Amino acid sequence: MAEFDRYADDYEQLLSHSLLGGSSDFFYADKGRYLTRVLGPDFAGRVLDLGCGGGRFGSELLDRFPR
């Protein structure tokens, strides 16, 4: 079994807990704000969300960079 698979079902809860009681929604939005500053709001290239997680950050990316 892959290492992440042991945590996949509870990933969002574990993430929120590790953020000192914060919400995973804030975490994704903060990453999105950072990328908007770095790439610019009109960025139209490709972005790869690489790492562990359930892929939820993809919707944040689509909201910020619809092109």
DSSP per-residue string spanning 7-42 = TGGGHHHHHHHHTTT--HHHHHHHHHHHHHHHH-TT
| Tens of pLDDT, residue by residue, the chain (67 residues) | 577 677 667 777 777 666 655 677 777 888 899 999 999 989 999 888 876 567 778 888 888 888 8
Rounded to whole angstroms, the Cα distance separating 67 from 52 reads 25
Q: Which structure tokens are listed for 16?
A: 């929120």
Q: Which structure tokens are listed for 28?
A: 């994704």
- pLDDT, residue 21, reads 56
Q: What are the Cα distances from residue 34, in Å, to 2, 40, 61?
A: 30, 10, 11
